[in-house]
Amino acid sequence: MNVGVRTVGAVPHVTLRGVSKIYPARGKNAAVHALGPVDLDLTRGEFFSIVGPSGCGKSTILDLLSGLGGPSEGEIRCNGMDVGGKVPAGVGVVFQDDASFPWLTVRENASFGLRHNGTDPAVIKERVDYFLNFVGLAKFADAMPAQLSGGMRQRLCIVRTLVMKPDLIILDEPFGALDQQTRFLMGDELLRIWRETNATIVLVTHSLDEAAILSDRIGVMSARPGRFLKFINTEWERERDSRNASTPRFGQITSELWSVLREESIKSMGRVEAR
């Protein structure tokens, strides 16, 4: 049974069918079967997280979803259109690394995408002001990224994505470089953004706590080649925040995640040690 495919409910926003990724051999390095085959349906407005051991292909699946890379096999559709290695309209990506441009001010960074797709300057100003204010960066609008903390720069990257009004937001460990407290607070902010925008969110994270607090549904991946081993529905209300970490349900979710992930992590570590 393929648990990633939903047979009832709304029309899926994103579908993956039989998707695999094999990186071809290069020089002395053998070909790497990084992912799949995987099947997945994402419902419109869903908050979906992906967890898995290191090197299981989590980032690969995000690249494929966002069109930054094409699959070796299978089909990916977003809003019914074949993604096929091209970034589809309405997709925003927030990366793990700081991707703010140090030569632009916060405001110029935030408006980067809009300025280059010919959006009216008045609309740019309105949207940028709104989202900078929304994430608490309004008073830093004229600052340079070097003057901001790591968390603020990551919020800036989120704003740069949000102003494009994407209906699918893909986040690749966006809080990976932040401390635990800041991660929780940033997670709350992400939930607020998700409720505000009604976007579908796909989050890749190493943190089981983060996945458990934020998600509607969590996909647990196997060691490489990554496949979905299990999907866990968190059953949280849409109105939620990091205070859920103190509920019994949070403990159930994380222990369920770990029970699946432990074996896979051992396999993954064994491979690293055997190299």
Partner 1 sequence: MKATTIARLLVVAFCVGLLELLCRTGQMPRLVIIPPSEMFIAMIGLLRQPQILDSLAFTVMVVAVSGVMSVVMGVLIGIVIHATPRLREVVEPVLSAYYAIPNFIFYPLFIVVFGLGAPSLIALAVLFAIGAMVIATIDGLDSIPPIYRRVASVFQIGYRKELWHIRLPAAAPYLLTGMKLVVVYAFIAVIAGEFLLSNKGVGHEIAFAYNNFDNASMYGLILLVILLILLINALLRLVRAPGSRGTELAR
Binding site for partner 1 (CB under 8 A): 66, 68, 87, 91-93, 95, 97-99, 101-104, 112-113, 116-117, 140, 143-149, 152, 164
Distance of alpha carbon 111 from alpha carbon 96, whole angstroms: 20
Q: Shortest Cβ distance from residue 102 to partner 1 (Å)? A: 4
Question: Which DSSP letter does residue 115 get?
Answer: H
Whichever of 37 and 90 has its CB closer to partner 1, that residue is 90
Q: Which residue has the tokens 């259109």?
A: 81
Q: Let me know: does 93 contact 172? Beta carbons within 8 Å.
A: yes
User: 100 vs 268, which CB is nearer to partner 1?
Assistant: 100
Q: How far is the CB of 95 from partner 1 (least distance, A)?
A: 6
Find the shortest distance in angstroms from Cβ 269 to partner 1: 27
> Do 241 and 188 contact (CB within 8 A), yes or no?
yes
- In terms of DSSP bridges, do strands 47-51 and 200-204 run parallel, antiparallel, or are they unpaired? parallel
Nearer to partner 1, 23 or 112 (CB): 112
Q: Min. distance of Cβ 165 from partner 1 in angstroms? A: 13
DSSP-derived letter for residue 124 is: H
CB of 136 to partner 1, least distance (A): 11
Q: Is 263 helix (H, G, I), strand (E, B) or coil?
A: helix
99 vs 269, which CB is nearer to partner 1?
Answer: 99
Distance of CA 26 to the CA centre of its chain: 29
| Closer residue to partner 1 (CB): 148 or 232 | 148
Distance CA 170, CA 162 (A): 11
Contact predicate 150/178, CB 8 Å: yes
